[in-house]
Chain A
Amino acid sequence: MSIETRRFVVNRVMGVLSGAAAALVILPLILVFGFLLYQGGTSLNLDFFTHTPKPVGEPGGGMANAIVGTLILIGLACGLGLPVGILGGLYVADSQDAHLPSVVRFLADVLNGVPSIVIGIFAYTLVVLPMRRFSALAGGVALGVIMIPIVLRTTEEIIRLVPASLREAGLALGLPKWKVTVRIVLTTARAGITTGVMVAIARIAGETAPLLFTAFGNRFWHHGLDQPIAALAIQVFAYAISPFDDWHRQAWAGALVLISIVFLVSLVARLATRDLQRQAR
């Protein structure tokens, strides 16, 4: 084979190999989602969304309390994650201080890499130990801490994209600086910030590890935010490792619901980001 042909062949082969790598990377997505659809789709019925779990061994029942529990936990998490994330991102993007903004940004990146179970330990020592019981509050704190770096960094990026001329126009109109920031800059950035928040919510909706010893899970409806509460992810885990076939089927259904929420939110966020990028051009 001449050198020319060999180079051509190598080029082709490498191209195919990299494509094969990409295909192999995507393959699990199809496998996982396929199995979920197949196994979980058959178990999804109205009962699933409206009933609470039946006692051990009895067939039927659903995950209504887990679904509601997840929503409540997300709400609690947002109570911590949104103010700290959005205002923190605003600070890092706008502040003229010398060192603090980059320190905060660095710490946010560090926090982003901390395993969620370790964050769960933190919430345990902070909330569960003093309260002497597991609670929705503790779970909310854990998930909120996980949210912070995601919301903070996306908010920072979006605020940086707001043109300085808009700020100047607001100031030139005779508006105080804080009003320019809140009513003009944040308003202009709200689409991007919302996207970041949605991505963060998609992430915490699927989190299980930190909830294992904070929210703990609950087979029934919770009786207050200072009580253990069910969550979809915990329930799926508990059913998956159980010995009961019926629970296994419900685990598949729960996983299907979880993954559908996550996919939908990711898709919407992706489309919204594409629009924003097109606008910015």
Chain B
Amino acid sequence: MADGLQVTELNAWFGTRQVLMNVNLRVPSNAVTALIGPSGCGKSTFVRCINRMHEVVPGARSSGQVLLNGDDLYGPGVDPVMVRRRIGMVFQKPNPFPTMSVFDNVAAGLRLAGVRDKNLLHDVVERALRQAALWDEVKDELYKPGSSLSGGQQQRLCIARAVAVQPEVLLMDEPCSALDPIATARIEELILDLKKDLTIVIVTHNMQQAARVSEWTGFFLMGELIEIGVTRDLFTHPREKKTEDYITGRFG
């Protein structure tokens, strides 16, 4: 199938240290795929290889193929900047741009890329904030600084900022780990909505979260993808012993 993400033989290094070994993975579109595993297992690195953020770190490199709807993201002449426009990312700690208002934050991806049409920007910002379930809370205060929002709101703001450029895939790297349970629940709710428009990959430490939001789950350990499958199956009848050990809490 041509749609979704197809990752083939992905390896990644930081200098001479190899952190991902031969990962093969398919991420189906319009679905949520969760990646779980203990700290340092490479799931964050994996996700950063998808949107070509890994190579920004000095000394970091990768090999292998990543196809997005059939397009080779690492092909010759491919501009990483354009790759990152098609693939959005939300980070562990909310990081709205501190000198910008709520509106400016959401519009940043478009405005800084040269889009000037004010009406267009307004429409885009409103739609993005609705997708992030934040519109109702901020619609009367769009010009307040982004940093004046609460932690959970800031993260939703970052989600809105990421989806405003209409990416095909949204990568979320432990997006709720810095948030309280209520804020976490709101974000999990909106993920279930978002997947209608995008493909979502969520890295999480929290197995219950993976079970709640995802259709597919992949288990990483020490740079390798040990197992990937339908979420319910992976958690109830894991095929690999290592997966079972992790899920039942024997390590990590």
Contacts and interface: CB of A to CB of B under 8 A. Distances in A.
| Chains A and B in contact, CB within 8 Å | yes
Interface stretch (A68-76, A117-125, A173-181, A261-269): A173-181
A165 B95 contact: yes
A166 B88 CA distance: 14
B88 A172 contact: yes
A173 B93 contact: no
Contacts of B91: 165, 168-169, 172
B109 interface: yes
A239 B93 CA distance: 61
B118 to A, nearest CB: 18
Contact of A171 (B56, B93, B113): B56
Contact of B99 (A169, A173, A174, A188): A188
B112 A172 contact: no
A122 B50 CA distance: 54
Contacts of A96: 58
Interface in B102-142: 108-109, 112-113
B81 A175 contact: yes
Interface residues of A, number: 20
B232 interface: no
Contacts of B182: none
B64 interface: no
A171 B108 CA distance: 11
Interface string A143-185: 0000000000000000000010110111111111001000110
A187 interface: yes
A173 B53 contact: no
B57 to A, nearest CB: 10
B112 A169 contact: no
Contacts of B88: 172-173
Interface in A203-237: none
Interface in A258-281: 279
B158 A173 contact: no
Contacts of A171: 53, 56, 84
A190 interface: yes
Interface in B73-112: 81-86, 88-89, 91, 93, 95, 97-99, 108-109, 112
Contacts of A169: 89, 91, 95, 97, 158, 161
B165 interface: yes
Given A172-B51, A172-B89, A174-B113, A184 B84 contact: no
Given A165-B95, A174-B81, A174-B84, 13 more contacts: A163-B95, A165-B91, A165-B93, A170-B112, A171-B84, A172-B53, A172-B91, A173-B88, A174-B83, A174-B86, A174-B165, A179-B112, A184-B108
24 contacts: A163-B95, A165-B95, A166-B95, A168-B91, A169-B89, A169-B95, A169-B97, A169-B161, A170-B97, A170-B112, A171-B53, A171-B84, A172-B51, A172-B53, A172-B84, A172-B88, A174-B82, A175-B109, A176-B81, A184-B97, A184-B108, A187-B99, A188-B99, A279-B98
